[in-house]
Chains A and B, each alone.
Chain A
Amino acid sequence: MPYFPDEVVEHILGFVSSHRDRDAASLVCHVWYRIEGLTRRSVFISNCYAVRPERVHARFPCLRSLTVKGKPRFADFNLVPAGWGASAEPWVDACARACPGLEELRLKRMVVTDGCLNHLAHSFPNLRSLVLVSCEGFSTDGLATIATNCRFLKELDLQGSQVEFRGRHWLSCFPKPSTSLESLNFACLDGAVSANALESLVARSPNLKSLRLNRAVPTAVLAKILTSAPKLVDLGTGLVAQSNNAGALPSLYSAIQQCTSLNSLSGFWDSPRWITPIIHYICKNLTCLNLSYAPMFRTVDLIGTIHQCQNLQHLWVLDHIGDAGLKVVASSCLELQELRIFPANANVLASTGVTEEGLVAVSSGCRKLNSMLYSCSRMTNSALITVAKNCSRITSFRLHICLHGSVDAVTGQPLDEGFGAIVRSCKGLRRLSMSGLLTDSVFLYIGMYAERLETLSVAFAGDSDDGMIYVLNGCKNLRKLEIRNCPFGNTALLAGTHRYEAMRSLWMSSCDITLGGCRSLAAAMPGLNVEVISQADGGANDAKKVEKLYVYRTLAGPRDDAPGFVSAL
């Protein structure tokens, strides 16, 4: 074998950026493993308990960007009790020791305290980007320390996080006389914001491209901001409404007309309906529109706006848009790639404005659709079959029918055939979330056809263990399986014994598994953490039903920070 210099391999691997490609390269041989490890700049840890932070730094000493995900996804829906874990502290500690040159840190569903942010701020002087998605545990004081100490910060994104309000001063802590900020998102922040501080911050951030404000930012301030930052590309407004300042709205109108680069718009909150024409100024350039936080906008307003957005690629709206609105979307937004419809009303018995008609209309008009999240109150198999036929490029399909266990609204049948058609037709489907009345046959279809499926979310579905067995046997690429309220028992759980190590995680709640089954799984597979979450004290006998089970592969062994209600088997 001729000598192949390491430097050449290193140079070549420098062009390989995708995680999966790099993972594959590292499996070629020991030399490549070592070189790849030395050269990887960006590491993605999909489960913070799967590996110890020290081990990550030992393998990837030159990393510059770290992404870590914590809690299971069902934590978003209050299924994971508070105090479960996923603290960012060990990760920040380890990183501070091993890699002080860290430039990017992205955390999702983790608990980040002010102390942790403080540690972060003082350990990583080069930090360029801090993204905290759906995190909690910190306050505006923590943000102040970040703003003060990370002088080169380009991106601060708090998407969906819960931040305790302790003052408005944090915005004034950003560096003076100018900042490097390119992206600032504090839309989720509750609490007031200092208008002067915000205006001054925007004025001294010449590179600002993306700004998402919280609802407390009034119209006048927004108008001033837009005037001083006309190059904005992505804007999340505050509450746009009539205020005491009579000149605010006209100046907002003239300011927004100057923002010719704006292509992404969100926010609005409780803005009144009549404000929708403001969007018309930038309709032509809009590629992303998120009106899902604006419950006051009605069908008519939405139709008038969306009709003009011919270049829209991403649309998030509430179900107020109605079938009528979706038909307009289908005829106007032919470039649409992602559509998300959220329910305006969390009540399961409420009827939504969208039905299967809207879904069918969108699928026939927007042929480039690849990602769909649809919340409705009724669905039919025919509609799903039509969607499958029209949009075979779909990679992510999530259908949430409000009332669990709803049947086909026209025929009264379960929705197996519809979802079966989806998995059959959409060869590239990677993510699927189902609802409605579903029997074991839908799982059979999934097992047979959904070869690329990586994430499957199931609720109130299935008749017997066979359902889960079909999926575990069939979907070779499955990574995350989330199950709730399905009649799957120990047989089903144990059928996947040898599958779980190839998957990221399994979540089962309100199913028919018992402690005995979980213990068997834990005994058979030492490479898995089998964790039972139980609030109630009860006997620890094997026949006891397990309320919540979380199984994941790990190199780190059982958790050492597990709270009392989490028992590792």
Chain B
Amino acid sequence: MEESSMKREAMPRLLDLIPDEKEWSLRGGAPRQGRSKNTGFGSDEDEKLELKLGLPGLVQEEPAASSREKRVHQESPALSLGYPPKHSTATTGAKRGFLDTVEAKAQGYEKEQARAAACGKELAVEENTAAVGERKKGCCPPPPPAHAPPATPARNIGNRPQARGRGAAAPVVGWPPIRSFRRNLASTSASKQPPEPQIGEADAKAVLDCKKSPLVKINMDGIPIGRKVDLAACDSYERLSLAVKDLFHGFLQVQRDPSKVERTQQGADEKIFSQLLDGSGEYTLVYEDGEGDRMLVGDVPWNVFVSTAKRLRVLRSSELSHGLVSGSCTFLLICADIRYMFRLPKLSHS
């Protein structure tokens, strides 16, 4: 330790990554105040190419609001680098210090991350664009990097997990670097079906928003064409049952007797559709939820059902019991749930 610090003094241009705390106190510097220099990323002013850099988490103008901030401050001393030679002893000493600091930073980072996630994502495009736009204007003189993020307090930085950098988001040729083959795939699939919202805490709100007017597909056994039903337009299971009847009774009539549309059949249809929900009739209504599992309609409160149902199915009650028992390969249903049929393991394990 002492040896390497002596070497350091002899050669001011030595590579000196984050020293560990022992070395830090040996230097007799003032680490507790936080020696984040941030004097400049460019090295024009110093022809010896000595560079002093602050580590992430250190922004000079931040008020040391929380003690956590201070801790990160203290454990991340300034970085000074000299350009060309680096000595192995100093390197190994510095390396150890470097890795030690990673732990401290990781802890600080985790807490930041929790805060950032809780605050949600906000874009501060204008602030950043303006600040960094200035920066881009001059290649030299070196910009003041400590001031590059706008002078906002620490909390706001947590609020900008997607803080934008240089330049506005004008379309640029060839960026992001995706090959044209892939780009074409992405655009064709996007036009076919809008992507479903991702699973993630920040996106949970978006998921709920999308459910405002759900049009879910509904298929019926024996009828090759499916329909779509607006769950929001029905406000109860009974209404849903009526809606299902409206959608399919025409098909049933046509199937039974294409030559005539008999009022006499209507009575039978009424009977079918009114017993959809209690399992006693010829048909039963089931739905598929977000995980792809098939569930009987009617168990959960209506609003929960609306938010979780992804598609509906009207099954013959006789087939329902068959499907539960056997794993046969016959396809009775259109768009069958393969996993269900072949008893493959469920999707979610953990």
A37 to B162, CA, bound (A): 55
Indicate if B165 sits at the interface (CB-CB under 8 A): yes
Contact with B along A235-255 (1 / 0, CB 8 A): 000000010001101100110
Contact with B along A443-471 (1 / 0, CB 8 A): 01001100000000001100111100010
A308 to B346, CA, bound (A): 11
Shortest beta-carbon distance from A488 to chain B in Å: 8
Among the stretches A14-22, A55-63, A74-82, A165-173, the one at the interface with B is A74-82
- Do the beta carbons of B149 and A385 come within 8 Å of each other? no
- Do the beta carbons of B187 and A408 come within 8 Å of each other? no
- With known contacts A382-B56, A404-B167, A79–B347 Cβ distance under 8 A: no
Question: Which residues of A have CB within 8 Å of B164?
Answer: 403, 405-407
* Residue from A348, A386, A414 in contact with B145 in the complex, judged by beta carbons closer than 8 Å: A414
A71-98 residues with Cβ-Cβ distance < 8 A to B are 74, 76-79
A391 to B145, CA, bound (A): 29
- Do the beta carbons of B121 and A249 come within 8 Å of each other? no
In this complex, what residue of B is CB-closest to A76?
B179
Question: Which residues of B have CB within 8 Å of A414?
Answer: 41, 145, 148, 165
Indicate if A115 sits at the interface (CB-CB under 8 A): no
* Residue from A160, A242, A301, A448 in contact with B181 in the complex, judged by beta carbons closer than 8 Å: A160
- Do the beta carbons of B44 and A412 come within 8 Å of each other? no
Contact with B along A259-302 (1 / 0, CB 8 A): 00000000001100111011010000000000011011011110
Question: Which residues of A have CB within 8 Å of B171?
Answer: 348
Shortest beta-carbon distance from B295 to chain A in Å: 16
* Residue from A298, A402, A485, A512 in contact with B176 in the complex, judged by beta carbons closer than 8 Å: A402
Shortest beta-carbon distance from A443 to chain B in Å: 10
- Do the beta carbons of A345 and B195 come within 8 Å of each other? yes
- Do the beta carbons of A382 and B347 come within 8 Å of each other? no
Question: Which residues of B have CB within 8 Å of A403?
Answer: 162, 164-165, 169
How many residue pairs at the A-B interface have CB separations less than 8 Å? 269
* Residue from B163, B172, B180, B339 in contact with A76 in the complex, judged by beta carbons closer than 8 Å: B180
Question: Which residues of B have CB within 8 Å of A440?
Answer: 41-43, 142
Indicate if A541 sits at the interface (CB-CB under 8 A): no
A292 to B143, CA, bound (A): 40
Indicate if B53 sits at the interface (CB-CB under 8 A): yes
Indicate if A439 sits at the interface (CB-CB under 8 A): yes
- With known contacts A274-B339, A412-B59, A348–B161 Cβ distance under 8 A: no
Q: How many chain B residues have a CB neighbour from A under 8 Å? A: 94
* Residue from B56, B98, B140, B189 in contact with A380 in the complex, judged by beta carbons closer than 8 Å: B56
- With known contacts A274-B292, A280-B345, A404–B81 Cβ distance under 8 A: no
- Do the beta carbons of B165 and A436 come within 8 Å of each other? yes
A351-383 residues with Cβ-Cβ distance < 8 A to B are 351, 353, 357, 375, 377-378, 380-383
A293 to B41, CA, bound (A): 41
Indicate if B325 sits at the interface (CB-CB under 8 A): no
- Do the beta carbons of A344 and B186 come within 8 Å of each other? yes
Indicate if A64 sits at the interface (CB-CB under 8 A): no
- Do the beta carbons of B176 and A307 come within 8 Å of each other? no
**Among the interface residues A304, A385, A411, A489, which one has the most CB atoms of the partner chain B within 10 A?**
A411
Contact with B along A212-253 (1 / 0, CB 8 A): 000000000000000000000000000000100011011001
Main secondary structure of the interface of B (DSSP, over half): loop
B90-120 residues with Cβ-Cβ distance < 8 A to A are 95, 98-99, 102, 105-106, 108-109, 112-113, 116
A374 to B86, CA, bound (A): 31
* Residue from B84, B105, B139, B350 in contact with A385 in the complex, judged by beta carbons closer than 8 Å: B105
Indicate if A413 sits at the interface (CB-CB under 8 A): yes
Indicate if A437 sits at the interface (CB-CB under 8 A): yes
Indicate if B208 sits at the interface (CB-CB under 8 A): no
Indicate if B246 sits at the interface (CB-CB under 8 A): no
Question: Which residues of A have CB within 8 Å of B334?
Answer: 242
Question: Which residues of A have CB within 8 Å of B344?
Answer: 277, 280
**Among the interface residues A269, A407, A489, which one has the most CB atoms of the partner chain B within 10 A?**
A407
- Do the beta carbons of A463 and B143 come within 8 Å of each other? yes
A55 to B198, CA, bound (A): 56
Shortest beta-carbon distance from B173 to chain A in Å: 6
- Do the beta carbons of A409 and B161 come within 8 Å of each other? yes
Question: Which residues of B have CB within 8 Å of A424?
Answer: 17, 95, 98
- With known contacts A77-B177, A424-B98, A412–B160 Cβ distance under 8 A: yes
Question: Which residues of B have CB within 8 Å of A382?
Answer: 56-57, 105-106, 108-109
Question: Which residues of A have CB within 8 Å of B185?
Answer: 269, 293, 295
- Do the beta carbons of B149 and A444 come within 8 Å of each other? no
* Residue from A270, A296, A344, A405 in contact with B132 in the complex, judged by beta carbons closer than 8 Å: A405
- Do the beta carbons of B167 and A405 come within 8 Å of each other? yes
- Do the beta carbons of A512 and B139 come within 8 Å of each other? yes
A408 to B192, CA, bound (A): 34
Question: Which residues of A have CB within 8 Å of B145?
Answer: 413-414, 439
In this complex, what residue of B is CB-closest to A349?
B169
- With known contacts A345-B186, A444-B81, A77–B179 Cβ distance under 8 A: yes
Contact with A along B61-100 (1 / 0, CB 8 A): 0000000000000000000010110100000000100110
Shortest beta-carbon distance from A461 to chain B in Å: 9
Question: Which residues of B have CB within 8 Å of A76?
Answer: 177, 179-180
Shortest beta-carbon distance from B39 to chain A in Å: 11
A301 to B344, CA, bound (A): 13
- With known contacts A303-B347, A346-B186, A463-B42, A437–B116 Cβ distance under 8 A: no
B284-336 residues with Cβ-Cβ distance < 8 A to A are 290-292, 329, 331, 334-335
- Do the beta carbons of B42 and A464 come within 8 Å of each other? yes
Question: Which residues of B have CB within 8 Å of A295?
Answer: 185-186, 189-190, 195
Shortest beta-carbon distance from A565 to chain B in Å: 15
Question: Which residues of B have CB within 8 Å of A51?
Answer: none
- Do the beta carbons of B162 and A77 come within 8 Å of each other? no
Among the stretches A319-327, A494-502, A525-533, the one at the interface with B is A319-327
Question: Which residues of B have CB within 8 Å of A406?
Answer: 162-165
Question: Which residues of B have CB within 8 Å of A466?
Answer: 42-44
Shortest beta-carbon distance from A330 to chain B in Å: 12
| Known A342-B178, A437-B165; 5 more pairs at CB < 8 Å | A242-B334, A298-B196, A344-B186, A448-B86, A460-B167
Q: Which 6 A-B pairs have the closest CB atoms?
A: A405-B166, A405-B165, A77-B174, A304-B347, A412-B149, A382-B109
User: CB within 8 Å of A: which residues of B?
Assistant: 15, 17, 41-44, 51, 53, 55-57, 59, 81, 83-84, 86, 95, 98-99, 102, 105-106, 108-109, 112-113, 116, 121, 128, 132, 135-136, 139-140, 142-143, 145, 148-149, 157-158, 160-167, 169, 171-183, 185-190, 192-193, 195-196, 198-200, 290-292, 329, 331, 334-335, 337-339, 342, 344-350
Q: Can you spell out 27 A-B residue pairs with CB atoms less than 8 angstroms apart?
A: A77-B173, A162-B181, A188-B181, A250-B331, A273-B292, A274-B292, A274-B335, A277-B338, A292-B182, A295-B195, A298-B199, A300-B348, A307-B349, A322-B198, A324-B200, A351-B121, A353-B198, A375-B176, A404-B166, A406-B164, A409-B116, A424-B17, A436-B165, A448-B84, A465-B139, A473-B84, A489-B139
